[in-house]
Amino acid sequence: MDYTHLGRTGLSVSRLCLGTMNFGPVTEVTDSHDIMDRAHELGINFFDSANVYGWGENKGQTESIVGHWFSRGDGRRERTVIATKLYADMGEWPNDGKLSALNIKRACEASLRRLQTDYIDIYQMHHVDRSTPWDEIWEAYEVLRTQGKILYAGSSNFAGWHIAKAQEAAKRRNYLGLVAEQSLYNLAARTVELEVLPAARDYGLGVIPWSPLQGGALGGILRKGDTHRSKDGRANDTLTANRPAVEAYEAFCDELGEDPANVALSWLLHQPAVTAPIIGPRTVGQLDSAIKAIDVELDEKALARLDEIWPGPGGEAPEAYSW
């Protein structure tokens, strides 16, 4: 496994991040524990979760599964950089969601209980809260950091402007601010190249792409004849809108002699801004397959061909659409 620093921090994380969203809703507890054990065997030390995972009446279930795994000891917690998120409503009462100081305090304490740990390595905001001022958000984060309950702050689904606003507010407070942004980013979804990636690079944030396979559309959906995907999901929407590109992509992966999923992950690993794509295996076998992406090398010719098949927005703003 290769490792890199998370953004401008001294924190070392694996080049692949284990996503836990399937733990509970899709993958049962025992199998989830097996996946996490296998991740450590493979050298993956970076795990991602969120308080809302489990969904519906089972919100918090995923963090609890991770916490149960931590409680088994044998260095599991110590060898894991755990990132989790807050923002979504966890109840029906006012202040059960978003980024007020009250909810930040309550949500953090609830995640700590479920995760069975006394600190969270990277506490991420799952979405921007336009109704809460940044001074309030950062004060709440500073308190948690002073108490030793969190180490770093991260964002998810922020626009470039949101990153700039957050960092300038943190700078005024002499606070470290954000160290990572978790965004939708893959060959078929490259909007973040306009402003999010430039902002992250300028402010020293690591970029953690979620849905690196576009819900499975980049994982060989045609060759697999995947019938397990939701007809309303991201994979099928992408296939419907971009079938010729998907066909060309899978044909090119055949030319390379590589699995489409691993090519998609490798492409992300070749992007300078990317720290670690999030992989979300449902089984140990899927994890073993995904790890192979680390060894997939794409030369300039291959990268150029992928750009032809999946053209991005044209580079950074404003040159992408102006001059």
Q: Give the residue numbers annotated as catalytic, written as ranges.
A: 53
Q: Is 11 helix (H, G, I), strand (E, B) or coil?
A: coil
Residues β-bridged to residue 84:
123
- Name residue 12's amino acid: S
SS3 150: strand
Cα dihedral 15, 79, 88, 268 in deg (nearest 10): 0
Give the torsion through C-alpha atoms of 102, 103, 104, 110, to 10 deg: 120
Neighbours of 94 (CB within 10 A): 11
d(CA 260, CA 264): 6
Beta strands in 118-205 (DSSP E): 120-125, 150-156, 178-184
| CA distance from start to end of the chain | 41
